[in-house]
Amino acid sequence: MAFATKAAEYTIGIKACTPLYREREYGDKRGKLEELMRPPVREVVIGTGENKVSIGGELVLYRHDLRYMHPTAFFVDIADTASGDELKKRVEAIENWTYLYIGMDLRLDGVALRSVTGDPKKFAEVAKRVGELTNWPIMLCSLNPKVLAAGAEALSGRRPLLFAATTDTWQEVSEIAQKHQCPVVAYVPGDLSELKSLSSTLHQMGLDVVLDPGNEFGAALGATVDDFSMLRRAATREGDQGVGFPLLATPISVWGDYKEGEAEELAKWQETLAGASMIIRYADILVLHSLDMWVQLPLTFLRTNLYTDPVKPVAVEAGLREFGHPTKDSPVMYTSNFALTFFTVESDIKQAGIDAYLLVVDTEGLSIQSAVAGRKLTADVIAEAMKEFKVEEKVNHRILISPGMAARLSGETEDASGWTVKVGPKDSSGISKYIGDELWKKD
C-alpha cells in the first residue's frame, strides 16, 4: 500500500517494484500498469551513462496541479566549422559552466552540434571529436539526412538526439534513428496538424519523438508561445497522444537576424528573453548559443525555481553547524532551515572568516519572517532545538544570537531556554561587523 501510494503520487517509478519485471507471471499486469501510469507527455532520454538527460515525462499543465518532473535541458551549440583548440575550448566551456545556488551546482546539460558546412564527412569528423572530448549528451543538427547519418554513425552507441525529421525527410531520418536507436525531432514549422501527423507516424515506428513546431521570436514571439501552449494543453488536458511528446525550443535562432558589426549584447539579451519565455511555456529542451554568465544565470535560476516541488519547501537538515575552528568561547547564532536563508547566512559567515556555531532550527522550510508569522519558529521550538543538538555542551557562555528578523521572540526565548538572547543584524551581511566588533558580548 505504501508503494502504491508513492507510485500514484509519482514520487517513485513502478520499475522500483522488481517482481513486476523479474517474474513472467506479472507480464500482463505490468503492461496494464505501465499504460495506466504513462504520463501524458512521454519521457525521452538523450545520451547514455551517468550524464544522460531525461526530458518530458510531464503530468500536468500547471505546476501547482502536482509538480513538473524533468527540468528543461540546456544544450549549447558548436558549429562543425570549429576545429582544434577552438573546438576543445568550446566543449570545455560548456562542461565547466557552473554556479553555486542555494546549495546546488547549476549546470548546462549537453552539446548541440550544428552542421554549417553541409558536408557529411566534415560533420562526422567533428562529431567524432566532440564524442571523444565529452561524455555529455549530444544533439546533431541538420536538415540533410546524409549529414545526420554521418554524425549518427560517428557517435554510434551514444544515443544523440537527431534534429530533424521533416515531412520531406522523415523516411530517411527514421531509418537512421532506428539503426542507431536515437530519439528524433519532428520539425514542422507553422502547422500543428501536420506536426501531429508526423510525430504519430514516427512514434508508431517505435521511435522516441521530440516536437519542434517552429520557433519565431521578436514580433512573432506570441505565435510561438501560443503553439507551445496549445500543444502542451492538448497533451495534458485533452489527452491527445499524438502531441504527447517533449517540446524543443531554439532561442539560438535570434542570432539569425544578427549582422556583423552590431552589438552582440542585444542578441544575447534577446536570446535570454526568448529562452525565459519558452521555459515558462513548457519547453523541455532549449538550444542556446551564448555562454555569458549574465545570459545563462537568469535562465538557470528560472529553471531551478520553476521545477522545485511546490508542496515541498526547499530546506536543509536541522542541526548544529560549525564554522572555522570554534572554541568554548565562540558565538552561537541560529537561523531557519529554509535553504535560501541558510546558504546566504553560511556564505556570509564563511566570507567573514568567523569561528562560530550556527544552530539550524527546523522551521519546515520557511524563512525567518514567514516562520515567525506562521508560528513555525517560536521560543519553545528554539529551546527544543538547543536541547536536541546539545548546544550547552559546546560553549562556556550562555549567549544566543538571534536573527534581527526574529527580534520579537527574544524575551520569550530567554524564558524558555534560560540563555541571554542578543539580537543580531537583520541582514546576514552584517554578521562580520557584529561578531568582529564583539557587539554580541556587550550589554
What confidence tens digit (pLDDT) does each residue in 98-153 have? 998 888 899 999 999 999 999 999 999 999 999 999 999 999 999 999 999 999 99
Beta bridge partner(s), residue 77: 112
C-alpha cell belonging to residue 37: 501510469
Report all structural domains of the chain as residue ranges with CATH numbers, in order of start: 1-37 (no CATH), 39-306 (3.20.20.20), 319-441 (3.40.50.11600)
The average pLDDT across 173-193 equals 97
Beta-strand relationship, 110-114 and 73-79: parallel
Confidence of residue 259 (pLDDT cuts 50, 70, 90): confident
Residue 278 and residue 251 in contact, taking contact as beta carbons nearer than 8 Å = yes
Torsion, Cα of 141, 147, 149, 154 (10° steps): -80
Residue 287 and residue 252 in contact, taking contact as beta carbons nearer than 8 Å = yes
Model confidence at 265: pLDDT above 70: yes
Tell the residue number behind the cell numbers 547566512, with chain if given: 345
Neighbours of 2 (CB within 10 A): 7
What CA–CA distance (Å, rounded) separates 378 from 414? 12
Peptide bond connecting 73 to the previous residue in cis, omega within 30 degrees of 0: no
Which of 214-223, 358-367, 399-408 is least confident?
214-223
What CA–CA distance (Å, rounded) separates 162 from 157? 13
C-alpha cell belonging to residue 413: 526565548
**CA 152 and chain centroid, separation:** 27
**Strand, coil or helix: 320:** strand
Confidence of residue 8 (pLDDT cuts 50, 70, 90): confident
Residue 440 and residue 420 in contact, taking contact as beta carbons nearer than 8 Å = no
What CA–CA distance (Å, rounded) separates 342 from 344? 5
Which of 199-213, 249-263, 293-307, 414-428 is least confident?
249-263
**CA 299 and chain centroid, separation:** 10
What does the radius of gyration of the chain's CA atoms come to, in whole angstroms?
27
Residue 429 per-residue DSSP state: G
Where residue 397 falls (left for φ over 0; alpha for ψ -120 to 50; beta otherwise) is beta
Torsion, Cα of 166, 171, 173, 176 (10° steps): 170
Residue 110 and residue 138 in contact, taking contact as beta carbons nearer than 8 Å = yes
What CA–CA distance (Å, rounded) separates 351 from 321? 16
The average pLDDT across 268-292 equals 96
What CA–CA distance (Å, rounded) separates 256 from 260? 11
Q: Which residues of 379-440 form beta strands (DSSP E)?
A: 399-402, 420-423
**CA 24 and chain centroid, separation:** 37
Confidence of residue 309 (pLDDT cuts 50, 70, 90): confident
C-alpha pair distances (Å), 441 with each of 21, 160, 209, 400, 401: 64, 62, 65, 10, 10
What CA–CA distance (Å, rounded) separates 108 from 105? 10
pLDDT of residue 437: 86
The residue type found at 177 is: A
pLDDT of residue 262: 80
The average pLDDT across 56-67 equals 93
Model confidence at 410: pLDDT above 70: yes
pLDDT of residue 439: 80
What CA–CA distance (Å, rounded) separates 338 from 333? 15
Residue 21 and residue 30 in contact, taking contact as beta carbons nearer than 8 Å = yes
Query: Over pLDDT 90: what percentage of the chain?
Result: 82
| Maximal C-alpha separation, the chain | 81
Please give the backbone phi and psi of residue 264, each rounded to the nearest 5 degrees, phi first: -65, -30
What CA–CA distance (Å, rounded) separates 421 from 408? 11
Confidence of residue 443 (pLDDT cuts 50, 70, 90): low
**Strand, coil or helix: 215:** coil
What CA–CA distance (Å, rounded) separates 159 from 297? 28
N residues, the chain: 443
Which of 26-35, 261-270, 311-320 is least confident?
26-35
Higher pLDDT, 10 or 140: 140
**Strand, coil or helix: 287:** strand
Beta-strand relationship, 332-336 and 319-323: unpaired
How many helical (H) and strand (E) elements, i.e. helices and strands, does the chain have?
Answer: 16, 17
Residue 403 per-residue DSSP state: P
**Strand, coil or helix: 372:** helix
Average pLDDT, the chain: 94
Model confidence at 300: pLDDT above 70: yes
What CA–CA distance (Å, rounded) separates 162 from 183? 6
pLDDT of residue 15: 83
